[in-house]
Amino acid sequence: MGKKNYSGILVRTCKKCKKPIDEKSLYDYCADCYKIVEEVFEKIRSYLKEYPGATAFEIELETGIPYHVVNNFVKEGRLIEIENNFINIECKRCGCLLLSAHHKYCPRCRDEIQREMDNVKGQLLQPKEKAKMHLQISRKDKT
């Protein structure tokens, strides 16, 4: 965690950016990096509140937070891994492996379905051309 400076004194450095940090700091990060780490953790925590028991792969797919970052939180003891018995669930649209019990469709299919729904909504909301009325002249009217 630390490295020696030129005078041989041990100096703590930030785990992420390697800037020197106060020896008495409670965290292994500088203030800027700590803020970023906490924002990432809060995003994971929010996702897990909505989808408890999600896997690290699912968190990566749904939040964009890399798998290794999620695993680092596990190693630090901030997240706890539990056995997931729902690993072999297939997407109902394309059949790919989901790695989640919380969703019926993979992220790609959900995006495509959402685009299709938005398309249909757009078509339904477009004003229709109104029909024009005409008189039909029958043979009786001509005489």
- Total count of domains within the chain: 1
C-alpha 20/C-alpha 30 separation (Å) is 8
DSSP 2-70: EEE-TTS-EEEB-TTT--B--TT-SSSS-HHHHHHHHHHHHHHHHHHHHSTT--HHHHHHHH---HHHH
Residue 142 covered by a domain: no
Residue 133 covered by a domain: no
Residue 40 covered by a domain: yes
Structural domain that includes position 68 = 2-112
Residue 31 covered by a domain: yes
**Whole-prediction pTM value?**
0.58
Per-residue model confidence as pLDDT tens digits over 36-83? 999 999 999 999 999 887 888 888 888 999 989 998 988 888 888 766
